[in-house]
A and B are shown apart, each in its own frame.
Chain A
Amino acid sequence: EDQVTQSPEALRLQEGESSSLNCSYTVSGLRGLFWYRQDPGKGPEFLFTLYSAGEEKEKERLKATLTKKESFLHITAPKPEDSATYLCAVITSGTYKYIFGTGTRLKVLA
């Protein structure tokens, strides 16, 4: 069965303290891996798409990387406004079904 697992479940950082969030996946064939940000009571907001191992994408303080088994979302010098839940999702070969992980709740303290 295709699965997406995110760790840690929750993370508290001081402002400026860099860290990484992990998304590991077990799928029959990866078509794409996606990162989203979700604020409380709102819909997920698209951040990145990664298609193949070795690929990297960057946006402001965020950088996403992909290997054959997992993806990392690196947060460099985070600010309080980066506090949110970060979701990872995959699409497997032959489907249009997005499988989401349970997310990492990030809290950045000023």
Chain B
Amino acid sequence: EPEVTQTPSHQVTQMGQEVILRCVPISNHLYFYWYRQILGQKVEFLVSFYNNEISEKSEIFDDQFSVERPDGSNFTLKIRSTKLEDSAMYFCASRGTGFGEQYFGPGTRLTVT
């Protein structure tokens, strides 16, 4: 069964450093998403991406964040200068044409020290 994969599973970084979180969505999917979930809190939408451009972003997704689909398979989230409050689980998701049927990856736990 196809699945979304994410690497690394856990990333520890120092405040102010840049991190890149990687995702491989399901191959025939067209819509890609990043979410974050701070420990014990709800899943929060960050950004949606379609046809090689951002289709929507949340207030959280400020200039420190960027996304890219550098080739036909990877989808990345970059945080330019990490802050302590960026510590969270980051989930990538993808979907085909059905709105609800997003498939989530296992997540990358980002710890900023």
Contacts and interface: CB of A to CB of B under 8 A. Distances in A.
Interface in B70-91: 91
A49 B99 contact: yes
Contact of A44 (B31, B48, B91, B98): B91
Interface of B: 4, 31, 33, 35, 41-45, 48, 50, 55-56, 58, 91, 93, 98-107
A90 B101 CA distance: 12
A36 to B, nearest CB: 8
Summarize A's interface: helix, strand, loop or mixed. strand
Nearest to B48: A96
The 8 nearest A-B residue pairs measured at CB: A49-B100, A43-B104, A34-B100, A100-B43, A96-B48, A102-B42, A96-B56, A32-B99
A100 B91 contact: no
A42 B108 CA distance: 10
Interface of A: 31-32, 34, 36, 41-46, 48-49, 87, 89, 91, 95-103
A48 B99 CA distance: 11
Contact of A98 (B102, B103, B105, B106): B102
Contact of B58 (A42, A97, A102): A97
B42 A49 contact: no
Contact of A42 (B42, B44, B107): B107
Contacts of A44: 43, 91, 102, 104
Contacts of A49: 98-101
Contact of A95 (B33, B35, B56, B104): B56
Contact of B104 (A31, A45, A96, A101): A45
B41 A102 contact: yes
Contacts of A34: 99-100, 102
